Amino acid sequence: MTTLVRPEQKAPPPHKRKGVTQQQRPLWLLTPGGILLILIVLIPLALAVYLSLLDLDQYTLRRWIEAPFIGLDNYVESFDSGLLHSIWISVSFSVLSTAVTVPIGIAAALVTQNAYRGRGLVRAAFLIPYVLPSFVVASVWRTMLQPDGVVNAWLSKVGVDGGLWLSGPKSYWTLVLVEIWAAWPFIYLMALAALQSVDHEVHEASAVDGVTWWPKLRRVILPYLRGPVLLACLLATLNHINNFTLPFVLFGAPAPDDVNVMPMLVYVTSFQSLRFGLSAAMAVVSLIIIAIPLYVYLRAVRLDVHEEGGRR
Amino acid sequence: MGKMRAATALAGATVLAVALTACGGGDDSGGGDGKTLNVLIGANTQYPDEFQAWQKDISAKFKAQTGAEVKFETFASANDELTKIQTSVVAGSGPDVYAVGTTFTPTAYSTGAFVKLGDDEWKKIGGKEKFNPATLGISGPDEQNQVGIPWVSRPFVMAYNTEILKAAGIDKPATTWDELGQQAKQMTKGDQYGLAIAYKDNFDPWKFVWGMSAQAGNPLVDGKTARLADPTVQKAYETYFGWLAQDKVVDPAAVGWTNPQAVAAFAKGKTGYFALTTTTAANSLNQGAVKGKWKFALLPTVPPGATSRPANGVEAASILSGDNLLVADYSKNKDLAFEYVKLVTDQEVQLDYYKKFGNLPANAAALQTLSSDETLGPVTEAAKKSVATPFTGAWSDIQLALTNVAVQSLPDLAKGSISPAQIESRVAEAQKSAQSALDRAK
C-alpha cells in the first residue's frame, strides 16, 4: 500500500505587490465625481437645511438672504401640519406596495424563465405597466374609478356597490392598488435578471440529484435571487415614497386626508401655501425619519456583495 | 426621500437663480430699436395654432410701433408660472411683463417685485378709464398700491338648457339660490337632473362658498381676521352640499366630477343648469347634444335662505376672474413694457383676442360692443358685476382651506348624508388655517 505523501511545500515568498498600495491609490481621479456630488447634492442639501431655518414665504422670497431666521420654528410647525400623518401614509403605502409586488414579480419572472412558445410576447406584455408614463397610468385609472366609471359598473353587475374610490378611506387602497399595478414589473425585471445569472450547472446538478420543483425553487433558486430582490425592495420602496405624479393625478390637490402622502404635502406647502421654509423643514424631517430605517435595512441585508473589497 | 428631492430641487432652483443674477441684466439703452421685451403668458392648449398666430401678429404690431421685438414665453400651468415668478423674483431678472390670474395677483403683489402704478404709468397705457371699472378691483390692495393692469375677463356664469327649463314650466332662470334649488327639483326626474356641479373640482367649491357668503354680507376676510367660522359660510356649504345630499337634484356621480366633466355631463342635454362656467366652455357645449338649446345666465346674487340681499350683502355675480398684466420691478425696459400693455389693452386688439379665444375684454369700450350680443349679454353683465376676492397674500391659503372642506366631505356626500356638525368641524379647521395664513401676512 502506498500512501501519497504530500510534498512539503515551502511557504511562498511574501508577494510583493507591484500595483499601487493603498496609500498610493489615485484618489484624485474621484475629483470630478466629488465636485459633482458637492454641487448637486451637498450644497442643495445644506441650502435646504438653511432654508428650513428661515421664515421664507412669498413675502420674504424676494430678499431671501434677509429672510428672518426663526431657528426651529418651522420644525415645530411641521409636526403640527400633519407631517407625521403624511409620513405614516407614505411609508405604510410604500412598504405595502413593495410587499405585494415582490411575490408577483418573482412569480412572473419564474413563469417566463423556461422557454416556451410565445414567451417573448408574455415578457413584452409584462412590461406594459412599467413603460407607461405615470401620468397616463393615473389618468386611465382615474377615469375607470369614477363613481359612474367602468369599475363600479362591473362591480354592480355582481351586486357590489363600489362606492367612492378617489375620495375618503378607500382612496388609500386605490393608491396602493394602482401603484402595485404600475410597479410590479420592476421587481419582475430584477428577479428575471437574477434568474438568468443562475449557472447552468446548478440546474444540471439539481436534475442529477432528482430534486423536485419546490425544494429546488426554495433551496436552490431563491437564494440566488436574494441579493437582487432585496436591492429591488429598497429601490422600489424609495420609488413608491417618491411618487408624486400618481397621487397628484389620481386625487388632485388638496388631496383627501387618507392619501396626503409626503410629496403631496410638500407640494401643497411649497406651491400653494408658498411656505418655502416650512416645506424645507418638512423635507429635512422626512429625510431623517426615512434615512434611519434605511440605514438599518442596508446594514441588515448587507447588499454590499463585494465584501472582500470592502474589508481591505 | 421624496422630501429630500423636493428640498433639493427647491434649493437647487434658488442656487441657480442666484447664479443667474450674475449673468442676467439686460441692456439699458434708450429707444426701442434692437431691444427685446420678454412677456410671460399662459399657454393656450385649446387653440395652440391660433395663439401662435396671435403672438406673431402682436409682435409685428409692436415692432412697427416701437422698433422693439416681443418675445413670448409660455407657461403650461399655474405652478409653472409660480416657479418662473419665484426664480425671477429671487434672481432679479426674467420676463418684463407677466400675465397673472386675478386670484393669484395678491400673491404676486406680496412679493413686492412688480411696478406700482402711479398716474404716469396709467397715463402711459391709456388711462384707468379705458377699463371696465369692475376689473380694477383686484389690481392692488387699494387705489394707491395697484400693480395689476386688467387684460382679459373670464367671469363665471351659469349655462341652462332652454328646453328642459321650458318643459318644466320655468320661464326665466333663477336669480336667488333658493329659487335655483327649487327649479332644480322641478326638473329632476328619471335620468334628468336639475343641476350639474363639479364637486371634485379643485377650484369650483370655494367660488360657490365665497359668492354666497359675500352676498350675505361676509367677504370672508375682514382686515386681519378670517371669518370662515360664520353662519353665512355654514349656510353656503349646507346649500352647496344639500343639492346632492338632501335635494338629490345632482347626478350622484358628480362627487367625482371636475369642471370639464361637469361640462361634458351638461353637454349631453340631460341637465337643467350647469352652475359654474365661463365663455370658454361654449365650444364644448356646441359640440354636444345640447347644441342650440343652451344659454348663459347670471349666477344668483341673493344668498341662500333669503328672498332679497341683506343691506350689507354684495351683488357678487362672479369672482373677479381673468388675467392681469404686471410689469416687473427689475425690468430694464419698463417704458416698452407699458407700451406693450397699452397695445394689448386697446379696443381693437381686445376684441380680436375675444374672437379668437373667447376671453372677454377688460377694455370697457370693447366690452360694450359685445353686450348687444344676445348670448353674451349675461356674461358681459357678470363681468361688470364681478367682485374681487379679498386682496391679501393669504388668499391662496384661504382658497385652499375652503376647497379642502369640500374635498374631505365627499365621502359623506356620496353616502347622502352630511350633518351640519360635520360641516361645522371642517369649517372650523379651515378657519384655523385661514387665520394662521392671515397672521403671517405682511
The residues with which B324 forms a beta bridge, in sequence order, are: B100, B150
Q: How far apart, in Å, are the Cα atoms of A103 and each of A97, A230, A280, B89, B385?
A: 11, 12, 36, 50, 61
Cβ partners under 8 Å of residue B135, min gap 6: B150, B153, B320, B322, B362, B383, B386
Query: B252 and A147 in contact by Cβ < 8 A?
Result: yes
Its sign, for the CA torsion A291, A295, A298, A304, is positive
Query: A271 and B79 in contact by Cβ < 8 A?
Result: yes
For residue B24, the model assigns a pLDDT of: 38
Query: A62 and B90 in contact by Cβ < 8 A?
Result: yes
Q: Any chain A CB within 8 A of the CB of B87?
A: no
User: What's domain B2-147+321-387's architecture?
Assistant: 3-Layer(aba) Sandwich (3.40)
All three cell numbers of A61: 422670497
Provide, as residue numbers in chain B, all residues whose Cβ is less than 8 Å from the Cβ of A272. Answer: 396-397, 400
Helix axes A222-242, A83-111, angle to 10 degrees: 140
| A255-272: pLDDT as tens digits | 999 999 999 999 999 888
Q: Point out the residue among A238, A255, A280 whose CB comes nearest to the CB of B1.
A: A238
Which ipTM did the prediction report? 0.81
CA–CA gap between residue B170 and residue B182 (Å, rounded): 11
Map residue B409 onto helix, strand or coil: helix
Strand order in the sheet with B36-42: B69-75, B36-42, B97-101, B322-327, B149-153, B360-361
Contact (CB, 8 A) for A312 and A22: yes
Cβ partners under 8 Å of residue B323, min gap 6: B42, B99, B100, B101, B102, B151, B152, B359
Cβ partners under 8 Å of residue B314, min gap 6: B214, B215, B217, B219, B387
Question: Cβ–Cβ contacts within 10 Å for residue B360, how many?
Answer: 27
Judge: domain A92-251, CATH 3.40.50.300: no
For residue A22, the model assigns a pLDDT of: 75
Provide, as residue numbers in chain B, all residues whose Cβ is less than 8 Å from the Cβ of A280. Answer: 7, 10-11
Q: Any chain A CB within 8 A of the CB of B2?
A: yes
For residue B27, the model assigns a pLDDT of: 40
Nearest chain A alpha carbon to B255: A147
Contact (CB, 8 A) for A126 and A112: yes
Cβ partners under 8 Å of residue B282, min gap 6: B358, B375
Closest of B159, B35, B17 to residue B90, by C-alpha: B17
CA–CA gap between residue A212 and residue B155 (Å, rounded): 74
Contact (CB, 8 A) for B20 and B91: yes
CA–CA gap between residue A216 and residue A198 (Å, rounded): 12
Closest of B157, B143, B88 to residue B298, by C-alpha: B157
CA–CA gap between residue A236 and residue A102 (Å, rounded): 10
Residue type at A294 in one-letter notation: L
CA–CA gap between residue A257 and residue B297 (Å, rounded): 36
CA–CA gap between residue B212 and residue A63 (Å, rounded): 39
pLDDT string in tens for chain A (312-residue length): 445 555 555 555 555 555 667 777 888 899 999 999 999 999 999 999 999 999 998 888 888 888 899 999 999 999 988 899 999 999 999 999 999 999 999 999 999 988 899 999 999 999 999 999 999 999 999 999 999 999 999 999 999 988 899 999 999 999 999 999 999 999 999 999 999 988 888 888 988 988 888 888 888 888 889 888 998 999 999 999 989 999 999 999 899 999 999 999 999 998 888 899 999 999 999 888 888 888 888 888 876 554 444 333
What DSSP line would sit under B86-155, residue for residue? HHHHHHT-S-SEEEEEGGGHHHHHHTT-B----HHHHHHTT-GGGB-GGGGGGSSSSTTS---EEEEE--
For residue B312, the model assigns a pLDDT of: 95
pLDDT string in tens for chain B (442-residue length): 444 455 544 454 444 444 433 343 344 434 577 899 999 998 888 888 999 999 999 999 999 999 999 999 998 877 778 788 888 888 888 999 999 999 889 988 988 889 999 999 999 999 999 999 999 999 999 989 999 999 999 999 999 999 999 999 999 999 999 999 999 999 999 999 999 999 999 999 999 999 999 999 999 999 999 999 999 999 999 999 999 999 999 999 999 999 999 999 999 999 999 999 998 888 889 999 999 999 999 999 999 999 999 999 999 999 999 999 999 999 999 999 999 999 999 999 999 999 888 889 999 999 999 888 888 899 999 999 999 999 998 999 999 999 999 999 999 999 888 999 999 999 999 999 999 999 998 8
Closest of B102, B336, B199 to residue A147, by C-alpha: B199
Element (H, E) at A228: helix A222-242
Q: Name the residue ranges covered by the structural domains of chain A.
A: 92-251
Tell me whether the CATH fold assigned to B2-147+321-387 matches the one assigned to B157-317+392-440: yes
Contact (CB, 8 A) for B230 and B218: yes
Closest of A280, A218, A253 to residue A77, by C-alpha: A280
DSSP A211: -
Q: Any chain A CB within 8 A of the CB of B1?
A: yes
Number of H helices, E strands in chain A: 15, 0
Question: β-pairing, B322-327 with B157-161?
Answer: unpaired
Query: B256 and A146 in contact by Cβ < 8 A?
Result: yes
Element (H, E) at B255: none
Query: A279 and B7 in contact by Cβ < 8 A?
Result: yes
Provide, as residue numbers in chain B, all residues whose Cβ is less than 8 Å from the Cβ of A64. Answer: 14, 90
DSSP B292: T
For residue B15, the model assigns a pLDDT of: 44
Closest of B140, B147, B156, B142 to residue B121, by C-alpha: B147
Q: Point out the residue among A40, A57, A168 whose CB comes nearest to the CB of B410.
A: A168
Q: Name the residue ranges covered by the structural domains of chain B.
A: 2-147+321-387, 157-317+392-440
Judge: domain B157-317+392-440, CATH 2.40.50.180: no
CA–CA gap between residue B433 and residue B394 (Å, rounded): 10
Question: β-pairing, B193-196 with B69-75?
Answer: unpaired
For residue A5, the model assigns a pLDDT of: 54
Provide, as residue numbers in chain A, all residues whose Cβ is less than 8 Å from the Cβ of B202. Answer: 252-254
